[in-house]
Amino acid sequence: VSIAVFASGSGSNFQSLVEVARQEHWPEQISLLICDRPGAKVLKRAQALDVESYALAPKSFAAKAKYEQAVLEILKQFQIRWIVLAGYMRLIGPTLLTAYSNRIVNIHPSLLPAFPGKNAIEQAFSYPVKVSGVTIHFVDEGMDTGPIIAQTPIEIAPEDTIETFAKKVHQVEHKLYPRVVYDLITGKISCPSLD
Ligand code: GRF
């Protein structure tokens, strides 16, 4: 049994998860990357890290359920127990939510419920709020909703630019996500609805 990361973009969180899991000899490793954008940079990272990856274009399926069914088949082959979303720009549908109920987590670059959806770093910076941050939560059918597991606040200082602020956010993400995923796979935390 192991962990699959779903990602659509750059994949810096994917990389940090893979590296930390290996360094710390986790009982379950990141053994699979699912990417919905053929050509995304994360696929190159997977290759460099020697992690199996599948790039499936949802558009090439007749319906979202068919796409998710295809993903589900791959997850079964790899005996995947946990789904970790890391910049996966797509809502999870009923097919995967039912199969992986309470076993899907997401990272979002704001203090939810503030600034859900796309471009959360830019949204917070240009609002402008004084404090934003990072949230990790269990995934339900909504966009960036579901029970919150961990949050770290990050100050937007007067001297910050969008670039320096974004860098701070990513640095926090790369530390926080591996900690939470480790606690999840070792049973230290579980979804409230499981209790
Ligand atoms: C991260 O900021 C994450 O919080 C958000 O998408 C971004 C992904 O970055 N959901 P990367 O692809 O891991 O570099």
SS (H, E, C) 129-169: CCEEEEEEEECCCCCCCCCEEEEEEEECCCCCCHHHHHHHH
Say how far apart CA 73 and CA 85 lie, in whole Å: 18
Backbone φ and ψ for 151, nearest 5 degrees, come out as: -140, 140
In CATH, what is the architecture of 2-106+136-144+172-194? 3-Layer(aba) Sandwich (3.40)
For residue 106, give the ligand 1 atom closest to its CA.
Answer: 10
For residue 121, give the ligand 1 atom closest to its CA.
Answer: 2
Task: Give the pLDDT of residue 141.
Answer: 96
pTM of the model: 0.97
CA 174 to centroid of ligand 1, rounded, Å: 10
Task: Give the pLDDT of residue 1.
Answer: 85
Test site for ligand 1: of 173, 176, 180, 181, most ligand atoms within 8 A of the Cβ: 173
Give every strand in the sheet of 80-85, ordered side by side. Answer: 52-55, 30-35, 2-7, 80-85, 104-108, 131-138, 148-155
Task: Give the pLDDT of residue 173.
Answer: 98
CA 74 to centroid of ligand 1, rounded, Å: 23
Task: Say what the ipTM of the complex is.
Answer: 0.98
Which protein residue's CA is at the shortest distance from atom 5 of ligand 1? Answer: 87
Low-confidence ranges of the chain (pLDDT < 70): 193-195
Task: Give the pLDDT of residue 192.
Answer: 84
Residues marked as catalytic: 108
Domain boundaries, the chain: 2-106+136-144+172-194
Is 102 annotated to bind a ligand? Reply is no
Q: CB within 6 Å of ligand 1 — which residues?
A: 7, 9-14, 86-87, 107-109, 173
In a 10 Å sphere around its CB, with 0-12 CB exposed, 13-18 middle and 19+ buried, how is residue 83 labelled? Answer: buried
Backbone φ and ψ for 98, nearest 5 degrees, come out as: -70, -45
